[in-house]
Copies of this chain bind each other. A is one copy, B any other.
């Protein structure tokens, strides 16, 4: 007998009919003889409805009160799903974040989980009950309701799986797994049977929106096998686990990630003296703007060029900040470009294979695509190119690294 944590997101529980469907899935999993803990989000649309109510009152709602408000969304879902399970003769009990005692810090709207009390849950499981737990929410030491921020229900599911030492944490979504790249761009994209935590982190951080980064980190840290599956169709999904389990047949590259959310800024002719990088980036991070790729070339003529990328929404503000900074530094010029795209190849296999990066560059060169920036980690290579070449680059790389689904299997 295994213990599984299931997580169903807002779309999967978006109506009474869909909640009934989830109850069917949970019941048949339970009938197969396994212990089940279900984590659910608010019904889709509900969180927006609550946010709109708050916005009707103030643009700057108090974070503590925002948490009290938003946590009602998941609470509604746990009650309804529990009723639906009980109607099917499946013993079940609902738990809010407070009741299950998901103890967090007091950082309202973005709290971090500190501890989960599993004794009550274990007793319920022993009594044969399915536990239905509200995702996204917890309680601090003073008894205040907290929420975990965006994608918090995934985090709740993984944290419960870790605390209960579950055999697997199953994230049910509206896609049937993790793909080698976005199927909307490459129609021969393949669903991956397996991927490592590290690869998934790179894929997620590079724009694949299937799972929240934080929940993948959490799963990796506590070695909780994560599986992404469809709520609506049957299928094996994609298992995200430790490298060891997947290494045997690991291809060099697991997937191609990309995004077009970024903009590029360059400060030209910066004096090549110590402390320059922090004098440029300090004011940017002080404005709470996140910086992604950073590239600085070797100096020539005692000056250097400093380039980095930010989210496209922040482009105008950063340009303004840099213009002041460039003046202070005596730099020559600030240039910016928001029509860029970032493409990354990801795979633990590249650690032991030379030539992965050069194969990437060759492939792009063969398509006459100019590379503007390069940044690498142990398991990924990212390049920035002109946005107009983005789809072409992704398709060319997907094919070059042999990720395309074989024609006969389609």
Contacts and interface: CB of A to CB of B under 8 A. Distances in A.
Interface of A: 16, 19-20, 50, 53-54, 56-58, 61-62, 64-66, 68-69, 71-72, 75-76, 78-80, 82-84, 86-87, 93-94, 96, 98-99, 143-145
A16 B57 contact: yes
Contacts of A76: 50, 53, 69, 72
Contact of A69 (B61, B69, B79): B79
A86 B61 CA distance: 8
Contacts of A72: 72, 75-76
Given A16-B53, A58-B83, A98-B98, 12 more contacts: A20-B57, A54-B80, A54-B83, A57-B87, A64-B94, A65-B94, A68-B82, A69-B79, A72-B72, A72-B75, A72-B76, A96-B145
Given A69-B76, A99-B143, A62 B50 contact: no
Contacts of A58: 83-84, 86-87
B68 A79 contact: yes
Central interface residue in A65, A72, A79, A80, by most chain B CB within 10 Å: A79
Nearest to A88: B58
Central interface residue in A54, A76, A145, by most chain B CB within 10 Å: A76
A79 B94 contact: no
A141 B93 CA distance: 17
A331 to B, nearest CB: 44
Contacts of A79: 54, 65-66, 68-69
Contacts of A65: 79-80, 82-83, 86, 94
A19 B65 CA distance: 15
A80 to B, nearest CB: 6
A57 B19 contact: yes
Number of copies: 2
A145 B134 CA distance: 14
A16 B56 CA distance: 6
A38 to B, nearest CB: 14
Contacts of A87: 57-58
20 contacts: A16-B56, A16-B57, A20-B57, A53-B76, A54-B79, A57-B83, A57-B84, A58-B83, A61-B83, A62-B82, A62-B83, A64-B93, A65-B80, A65-B83, A65-B94, A66-B83, A68-B79, A68-B82, A71-B75, A99-B145
A256 to B, nearest CB: 42
Contacts of A50: 76
A86 B63 CA distance: 11
A337 B80 CA distance: 42
A232 B93 CA distance: 42
A127 to B, nearest CB: 14
Contacts of A145: 96, 99
Nearest to A17: B56
A71 to B, nearest CB: 8
Contacts of A143: 98-99
A64 B87 CA distance: 14
A68 B57 contact: no
A84 B62 CA distance: 10
Contacts of A61: 83
Contact of A75 (B57, B68, B93): B68
B53 A80 contact: yes
A64 B96 CA distance: 13
